Amino acid sequence: MATARLHRGLVALSASAVAAVYFAGYLRTQSADASIGAAAEPVALAQSAAMATPAPTVVVRTQPTARTVPAPPVVGRSTAPTAVPAPARSAPAANPAPAANAAPAAQGAYRDGTYTGSGSSRRGGVVVSLVVQGGRIASVTITQSTLQYPLRDIAGLPAQVVQRQTAQVDTVSRATYSSQAFKGAVAQALSKAA
């Protein structure tokens, strides 16, 4: 290549780029920059289960094994059930749920606690951690995945579970297997909470 002289320096260029960004103090000034939106929210930190026993070797490029799908906005805001845009659940007590594992018939239908469940498909499985508070599903987190597809395909499903209070969520088009594994995992976790 004729540009050999230019080749010198991508490492140096990257180092000066990092320094420039860091010392621009972006984090400190960002709130003044209205065009960029809200300041960073605090990051939810989880103690990594995989790391509880320090692994001797850090493996590069494994499939993600512990991914927390960011909590849906409804969690923790004590959104009233009536705020749920639910075609199927506007009258929970009177509405016989179509699904086997069934939306709760009334508040307190699930026992409070944290439950895990796993679900599988022909293309791998997921493990979820499901938290019930006040009888309602408060959050769902995908804690492990052996799916062959990126979890972002089903990133919207945990929020749907919280909204609808049931494992019967939409199957994401083109992510049929991932959706199936996820629903199975939620159903299993809910069966423990019933």
Q: How far apart (Å, rounded) are the C-alpha atoms in residues 152 and 78?
A: 26
100 to each of 69, 87, 181, 187, how far by Cα in Å? 25, 18, 16, 9
Asked if 74 interacts with another protein (CB under 8 A), we say no
In the list 32, 45, 91, 106, the residue contacting another protein (rule: CB under 8 A) is 45
Asked if 32 interacts with another protein (CB under 8 A), we say no
Site for another protein in 151-190 (CB under 8 A): 151-157, 159, 172, 174-175
**134 or 156: CB nearest another protein:** 156
Asked if 120 interacts with another protein (CB under 8 A), we say no
* Of 177, 161, 64, nearest in space to 120 by CA: 177
Asked if 31 interacts with another protein (CB under 8 A), we say no
* Of 146, 187, 194, nearest in space to 169 by CA: 187
Which DSSP letter does residue 88 get? S
**10 or 91: CB nearest another protein:** 10
Give the footprint of another protein on this chain (CB under 8 A): 1, 3-4, 6-8, 10-11, 13-15, 17-18, 20-22, 24, 26-27, 30, 33, 35-37, 40-48, 50-52, 54, 56-70, 148-157, 159, 172, 174-175
